[in-house]
Amino acid sequence: MPTLLANGGPVIWLILIAAATAAVVFVERALYCHRSQINSAEFLNGVRTVLKRDNVVEAVSICDATPGPVARLVKAAILNRDKGRDLVREAVEEAGLVEVPRLEEKLNLLATIAQIAPLLGLFGTICGFISIFGQIEQSGLYSNIEVLSKGVWAALICAAAGIGVAIPAHAGYNYLVSRVNKIVLDMERAAAEIVNIVTENGNGK
């Protein structure tokens, strides 16, 4: 590894910074998605049971104690339960508009790194070949092979590193998008169900 870094030229450090950023973003987003995804069916059953006993305070407490956007959507519906079905639905939709951007936060950064990493590798490759031809122009037929090999090393290392960063970054982005889509689907299902729960039995209008 030290040899690769020493021979990769200055561009390799840009690629490493991009790789480190992608790793941090992926880990942070993966943990956030893990905390955000709950068993929404079980959670809603618990809330329904509590609300049937007209224990609104306990229902809100359950929402506060449960992490994730589904719980916050349910809490919004409970707090607006006396305003009629349409307003309850509107409150849930507004809560959803707040939660979705939180789930998608920083995903664009990961996608950008996946896209520019190969370009950084190509940039390093071009810089390496520029170095080679500059040395050939200066020394002609008497160019030192060791000096020329540095340019070749830089070109190859940067190209490989750029692709090596892009592949896991792109895979990580697609994985996180799939996790976010599952959570959003849970939110939509929970939103529809909680509207029915809080407005049933004549509580809504």
pLDDT of residue 203 exceeding 60: no
Domains contained in the chain, number: 1
pLDDT of residue 202 exceeding 50: no
Residue 131 lies in a domain: no
Q: Which pTM was predicted? A: 0.83
Residue 21 lies in a domain: yes
181 confidence band (pLDDT: 50, 70, 90)? very high
Residue 34 lies in a domain: yes
Q: Which is it for the CA torsion 102, 49, 88, 78, positive or negative?
A: negative
| Domain membership of residue 46 as a residue range | 2-108+166-199
State how far the alpha carbon of 36 is from the alpha carbons of 8, 39, 76, 185, 186, in Å: 40, 10, 17, 13, 10
pLDDT of residue 16 exceeding 50: yes
38 sits in the region (left: phi over 0; alpha: psi -120 to 50; else beta) called beta
Residue 143 lies in a domain: no
140 confidence band (pLDDT: 50, 70, 90)? low
Average pLDDT over residues 59-77: 92
Residue 7 lies in a domain: yes
Residue 55 lies in a domain: yes
